[in-house]
Amino acid sequence: MANKAKTKQVLVILGSPRRKGNSSTLAARISRGAKSAGAEVDTLFLQGLKISPCRGCDTCQKHDSKGCAVKDDMQQIYPKLIKADAWVIASPVYWFTMSAQTKIFMDRCYALTAYANNPFAGKRIAIAMSYGDVDPVKSGCVNALRAFQDAFRYTGSRIVGMVYGSAMKAGEIADNEALMGEAEELGKRLVSR
């Protein structure tokens, strides 16, 4: 019997309050690329989920920890994060960095180590960002990108790529055909080894 390759699992985390916003549009194109490469994709829309900020209690870091002490919707997200081979994190730039929804999610990932032995190690990451200014530096996009780079370098995860671009009206970024092509190619690279 031939050895069947495991289907890659991709978890898309949408950190925009707009379901069809520009960062979500980029993430959808990354998803399309991943699916075309044979991956299964699951999408989480953070807006509307009950996710509280980290309390800094460090319960999750104790030797006999049972996980995060905060009982909210993150409890259902942790197993999905662990199971996925790759994550796509999509966020607009709000006030010179990632959205509040994305930041709270990122802070709560601190507890992941309580659920498995370094679930970050080897995780493949794609980042999708949108911003209103024409410049990724003046807009603050670089602040968010740097935060992701620092966090995932620390955790031992690999950022496979980042796509980002300027757009104001919801979905307007789809008009940037070159960027949409980059996003789709990133999705393919995300699940190929």
Confidence at residue 1, expressed as pLDDT on a 0 to 100 scale: 47
Residue 1: inside a domain, yes or no? Answer: no
Q: 45: helix, coil or strand?
A: strand
Distance CA 36, CA 188 (A): 7
Residue 99 lies in a domain: yes
Instruction: List, for the chain, all residue ranges whose pLDDT scores fall below the cut of 70.
Output: 1-4
Question: What is the per-residue pLDDT for 2?
Answer: 52
Is 107 part of a structural domain of the chain?
A: yes
- Give the H/E segment covering residue 36: helix 22-36
Mutual orientation of helices 100-108 and 141-155 as an angle, nearest 10°?
10
Beta strand 124-131 pairing with 86-94: parallel
Flag whether 55 is in a domain. Answer: no
The answer to whether position 88 is within a domain reads yes
Tokens of residue 58, six digits: 């460090």
3 lies in a domain?
no
Convert 162-178 into a string of H (helix), E (strand) and C (coil): EEEEECCCCCHHHHCHH
Write the CA distances from 137 to 21, 55, 147, 160, integer angstroms.
21, 31, 14, 21
Share of the chain above pLDDT 70, in %: 98
The confidence score (pLDDT) of residue 193 equals 75
Alpha carbon dihedral 111, 114, 115, 117, in 10-degree steps, equals 120
71 phi/psi in degrees, rounded to 5: -95, 100
CATH number at residue 82: 3.40.50.360
> Which residues span the domain enclosing 173?
9-50+60-191
Residue 124 lies in a domain: yes
Distance (Å, rounded) from C-alpha 49 to C-alpha 79? 16
pLDDT of residue 115: 81
How many independent structural domains does the chain possess?
Answer: 1
Is residue 74 in a domain? yes
